[in-house]
Amino acid sequence: MPQFNDYRHILSALLENRFIVAVVSSCFCLVVFFWVLFVKRYYSPVRTKILIVGRSGEDEQPGSGKTTLYHVLRTGKVPKFHSVTSMVPNEGTFIPQGSKSLKEMNFVDFPGNERMRVELEEQILQAKVVVYVLDLSKLQTDLRKEAISLFEIFKLLKKRNRKAIPVLVFCNKVDLCENVELDKVKNLLGDEIMKYQRELASAGGENVMLATNRDSLFACSQYVVTFESGSAAQGLVAPVIQFLERI
């Protein structure tokens, strides 16, 4: 059996060889470097990111209200700006106005433009919460488009393998609607997404089956979806704040 002294001799012989010392210390530096990167990515404050997503305006139609919601959360006031479909995310760290218990959070109002898909994927991987803003006043006419948009978000969320992320579907513009029944909205959207994924699968698309039924579509190991309603332009965003307070 080799004795302690033998190991000491081997070690001092190795340390005398500068090449070996250089290789070992480079490896050590590399390991530390990757470890720091890993810790930064998975445990940094970035994970307090509240990502606001949803469809943007198209063909002269207004967007769902993401930027309005962002401003109401930030300032407590309804913005007096003309809606422009942006290609740049709005980002800020603040305590949402109207909350007594929340700490500072990093909010990102992410434009729903198709061309920003790669960036959206990156944002979703880093998010702590996703708030999907849906224009309830156009749900009947835009049901398929909303279903596709939400399907794409769920697909990206499925790529996460950490703890389930809370997703809020904020049914916005209730001031333009009568008799809002959130269960009905959830069922309508759920059925349309299921229909869409079946169509994709029968057209030969790969990896498009998100879920086999509506329940597992809205709650799985990667995300859990809650539905709330309100009106950003009327300053009625308390359900969003209460949702953030619960998580």
Ligand X SMILES: Nc1nc2c(ncn2[C@@H]2O[C@H](COP(=O)(O)OP(=O)(O)O)[C@@H](O)[C@H]2O)c(=O)[nH]1
Q: Which residues bind ligand X (CB under 6 A)?
A: 54, 56-57, 62-68, 83, 85, 133, 172-173, 175-176, 231-234
Looking up tokens 């080799």 gives: 2
Binding part of the chain for Mg ion, among 62-70, 113-121, 140-148, 208-216 by CB under 5 A, reads 62-70
Least distance from ligand X to the Cβ atom of residue 186, Å:
19
Give the count of beta carbons closer than 10 Å to the beta carbon of residue 134: 24
Q: Which does 92 bind (CB under 5 to 8 A by kind): ligand X, Mg ion, none?
A: none
130, 157 contact by CB (below 8 A): yes
Compute φ and ψ for 131, nearest 5 degrees: -110, 115
Tell me how far apart the alpha carbons of residues 97 and 116 are, in angstroms, rounded to a whole number. 29
The encoded tokens of residue 165 equal 């992320």
Q: Which does 172 bind (CB under 5 to 8 A by kind): ligand X, Mg ion, none?
A: ligand X
Number of residues in contact with Mg ion under rule CB under 5 A: 2
Least distance from ligand X to the Cβ atom of residue 104, Å:
22
Q: Which does 176 bind (CB under 5 to 8 A by kind): Mg ion, ligand X, none?
A: ligand X
Least distance from Mg ion to the Cβ atom of residue 96, Å:
18
Q: Which does 17 bind (CB under 5 to 8 A by kind): Mg ion, ligand X, none?
A: none
Nearest position to ligand X, beta carbon: 63
Tell me how far apart the alpha carbons of residues 208 and 196 are, in angstroms, rounded to a whole number. 10
166, 232 contact by CB (below 8 A): no
> Which amino acid makes up residue 176?
L
Nearer to ligand X, 189 or 217 (CB): 189
Q: Which does 54 bind (CB under 5 to 8 A by kind): ligand X, Mg ion, none?
A: ligand X
Give the count of beta carbons closer than 10 Å to the beta carbon of residue 67: 22
Q: Which does 26 bind (CB under 5 to 8 A by kind): ligand X, Mg ion, none?
A: none
Task: Please select the residue that binds Mg ion; options are 67, 123, 197, 222, rule is CB under 5 A.
Answer: 67
Ranges of H-type helices in the chain: 4-16, 18-43, 66-75, 117-126, 139-157, 182-202, 214-218, 238-246
Closest of 114, 211, 94, 217 to residue 167, by C-alpha: 217
Least distance from ligand X to the Cβ atom of residue 132, Å:
11
Least distance from ligand X to the Cβ atom of residue 202, Å:
32
Nearer to Mg ion, 66 or 74 (CB): 66
**Residues contributing to the site for Mg ion (CB under 5 A):** 66-67
